[in-house]
Structure 1
Amino acid sequence: MQERKKSKEWMEGAITYFYLLFYIAISSGQIFFNKWVLSSKDINFPYPVALTLLHMVFSSIVCFLITKVFKVMKVEEGMTSEIYLTSVVPIGAMFAMTLWLGNSAYLYISVAFAQMLKAIMPVAVFLLGAAAGLEELSGRMFVIMSIISIGVVVASIGEVTISWVGVVYQMGGVIAEALRLIFIEIFLKKKGVRLNLISMMYYVSPCSALCLFVPWIFLEKPKMDSSGSWNFPPLTLFLNCMCTFILNLSVFLVISRTSALTARVTGVVRDWVVVLLSAAIFADTKLTFINIIGYGIAIAGVVAYNNHKLKPVSHSVNSQAGGTNSNSQEKDPGVQIPLSTKASS
């Protein structure tokens, strides 16, 4: 009996680690995949708005098929036109902006440097959250924000070839992602609506696609019409869109299998993997010692931020789990929306 229990625990642990490794692999792979699609001479498809629009259209179609045609999952109730207009539309618009600007940055800066700039995300989330009344100012948070900011500045100073256009795109994407997270928090706290990932994507993806369609018509469609050299093989297009969709599902699997804290820590590991692998894969990535030092400082601040933010949540989850099942203390099945899908950019 004891051996069977240990075997079951070992199997559960193995499945959990598989989900974590799968998330790191698919998230890192999608970043490299998008970079390759946008900058590869073989495909020659330097159209980030069009690429992101294709991702959102694909996600909308798949979610519709899953929920309405094959009915594998049911769209959760509670959505009203008022909630959709005041919450889902802003979330969808900011999600579209995040992916658009993030993908655009890959045309000008390296994947590694883009990840380094993304480390400033907690600062943007905290400042915007404080402005919206969702965050409380404190000496500890000021120190954490300062550490992250200093780290990003040092990493930027160490960049060999810096493109300020790419930096502006990336920072714009960071601000848009921060606003998206703020809108999601307002959506959860003030509207009281909780959706699983498929339901969230079912509502958000069409809205994001519509928001991307407008800039695509005016900014990229004329370029695509005038240039006959671009090429996007159907199989590559399908695989790229499918990887994006699977990435979003993997976020949900990690959170539902473990906890929000584990998902965020895994994201930090993913960022390091992306930075190091990009230096080995892409010719435009040249890491300097100052790059590494600065990014290390920023990541230390990000880890401190995650620990500070999620400690109350982790304590609450553990207390609830301790009263029911001491073997499932880390699981948090109540988390029903993705904390972040920025990796899809």
Structure 2
Amino acid sequence: MRPLIDTTVPDLPAPPADLLDAARKSPATPERHSEFLRDVEALHLIEARAPRVPQPWPGRLRIAAFNAQRLEAPEATLGLLDRAGAHAALLSEVDLGMARSGNRHPVREMSDPSGIGYLYGVEFVELDLGNAEEMRDYAGEHNRQGFHGNALVTRLALADPHIVPLEESGFWFPGYEGSEQRIGGRMAVVARVADAPRPLWLASLHLESKTDPEDRRAQVQALLRAVEQLGPDDAWILGGDLNTKALSYDPAEAEHLLDDPGRHEPLFRDLADAGFAWAGANLPLPTQRTGRHGRPQPPFGKLDWFVVRGMKAAAPEVLPALDPEGQPISDHEMIAAEFFFEDALEQP
């Protein structure tokens, strides 16, 4: 496993074409995957841009988390964050230089006109054009960078940015169901809020969707080891797509989703043992929706979560991921909640 990554750059370098060609032709072994993961420079860097005018500490912090499904709609996503009143957003499934999302840099497109700052980390270098449908739709096109990752977007000043590798098994290196051959692994983008009245860290994470609860648990354990390394006595807000697919999808059982999710997804028991809570930061509602391509169809599950330590949480929401014309911009809804330190002196 790579150590924690803390080197920032203004622009992530594209992988050399010959390296990507060699990876496509390579035997799909864990050993070869480790070699390519070592050699792709962007997998060891964080792209960072500070906010144009940092926002002062707001007292009560509104955070959103959103699996943006490629972030093909940055303007609509920014509008949704504004409607959520978010001071910071924890984003997953963010493309950079992918043909399927216009070979754009969508998180920078959100940043440039608005002055928002961001941290972006590469989760995977895509060796083809995406899933089987995307490979058909974009046949003959080429990725400029081929990056897919997570981001932390905010007007607040951040410090101590890190990428925390959560797994590097090479699960995706052979591809999945005939497509999506990838170099990389699941990870979290974390940073400290510079002007918080006491140490407070944010973490944007995305757990694996194609494995099982024990594998997701192992990924959370990797994150908790980083929490203890970076800020063992600090407040933390973790948020993102945890892919908690072992929880019930039955609408009749929705009201009990928050009661003891660790019965089916043991990662929650590890989080609780580490002092994290989720009840005040989440609604017992599904966070999937039918996206742009007509998938998934109901029933929907609750995959997106906040967990918090050292702060109180209140006013959780699930916001429909729709553009101004009412069209879906993702196959996940956005979640949001308010976080604050207990003593009244910290509140405006």
| TM-score scaled by length of structure 1 | 0.27
- For the pair shown, which has the larger CA radius of gyration, 1 or 2? 1
Query: Which structure has greater strand proportion?
Result: 2
RCO higher in structure (CA 8 A, sep ≥6):
1
Query: Which structure has greater helix proportion?
Result: 1
